Amino acid sequence: MWKTRRAEAEGKPKQPRTAIRPLRLSRDRTYWRETFEAYWYLLPAFLVLGAFVFYPFFSAFKLSLFKWNSLTPPGDFIGFENYRYIFHDKYFWKDMWHTFYYVGITIPVTLTLAILVATLLNKGLRALAFARTSFFLSYISPIVAMVMVWRWMYNTDYGLINYFLSLFHIDAVAWLNDPHYALPAVIILSVWHYVGYQAIILLAGMQNIEQQYYDAAKVDGATGFQTWWSVTVPLLSPQIFFVFIISLIGSFKVFTEVYVLFNGPGPLRSAETLVYYIIRSAGRIDTATNHTGRAAAASVVLFGIIFLFTIIQLTLTQKRVHYD
């Protein structure tokens, strides 16, 4: 107020003070209207997520607090006793190690091979359509039929893989009977199964990169590898990031490959994973271990692990993904 009086005393015109309010009110209304419209369009996605993600998670968390099995209604409320049990179960930690071992090898190997395959397919091959179909065929094939074929290939006596090893004077490997080779056998199968799918996604991203970037690199005198590393890989980062996330989530949920390949968890449970542990604890495989509460507790832990790794990956790669 004293500034206004001083301005009037000095003969300066007083500044209007009510001109901003209508604009601010209008901007607020526009903001809330656009926000409401955005959430209205996102409502179907929220409904799907709520029905198939959030509700099952909270339902599993609720069931993990009770002592019961699938044959009887939920029994007594026992709090976090199921979590305490699985954290003291040696098979739970063993299966967690198997899962992390599988994820830690499968994802980088598959992603690296997918980038190399996509780069080769992007060179303009004559039979490009046939090559795409051949690589993608491994992914769209029924997984049970595919694993049955790999069971024959892994056979110690007449398997195709041991036949090729014998050409190099390497002794036959008991892929399905030796605990040391059971989990590597699952990893090899999974890499072959998913590399084609990832390569097709990365190939689509490569073909959307504008030619002007390559022309600029050529003018600057960049070699082929320098162009690939400095132009293709950075501009392909959105697709690489997408493939990495879906591979991370899918690898933690591996089960079918193990169950069909070994008709069980492998020799001495050497290929048993967390999902296998959950299904076995629920009595779906062995009715003698019918503890649905413990299975629900293990599933909640698995969800927390996947969620944590996804958040870490989003945080670390946010500044490295180029969408322009």
Q: What single string gives the DSSP state of each residue in 9-38?
A: HTTPPPPPSSSHHHHHHHHHHHHHHHHHHH
pLDDT at 63: 87
pLDDT at 292: 86
Q: Cα separation of 36 and 5, whole Å?
A: 45
- What 3-state DSSP class applies to 76? coil
Q: Cα separation of 178 and 300, whole Å?
A: 32
Type of residue at 95:
D
Which residues, 6 or more positions from 83, have their beta carbon under 8 angstroms from its beta carbon?
64, 297, 301
Q: How far is CA 199 from CA 58, 191, 227, 239, in A?
A: 36, 12, 19, 10
pLDDT at 261: 93
> Whole-prediction pTM value?
0.81
Q: Cα separation of 226 and 285, whole Å?
A: 52
123 in Cβ contact with 272 (< 8 Å):
no
Show the low-confidence residues of the chain (pLDDT under 70). 1-27, 70-74, 124-128, 286-289, 318-324
Q: Cα separation of 320 and 318, whole Å?
A: 6
Element (H, E) at 149: helix 143-153
267 in Cβ contact with 178 (< 8 Å):
yes
Give the side-chain half-sphere CA count within 13 A for 242: 14
183 in Cβ contact with 266 (< 8 Å):
yes
Type of residue at 55:
Y
pLDDT at 109: 95
Residue in the structure block whose two tokens are 């090729």? 164
b (16+ CB within 10 A) / e for 197-225:
bbbbbbbebbeeeeeeeeeebeeeebeee
Superfamily of segment(s) 81-317:
MetI-like (1.10.3720.10)
Q: Cα separation of 273 and 299, whole Å?
A: 12
Residue in the structure block whose two tokens are 């990031």? 241
In the chain, what are the domain boundaries?
15-63, 81-317
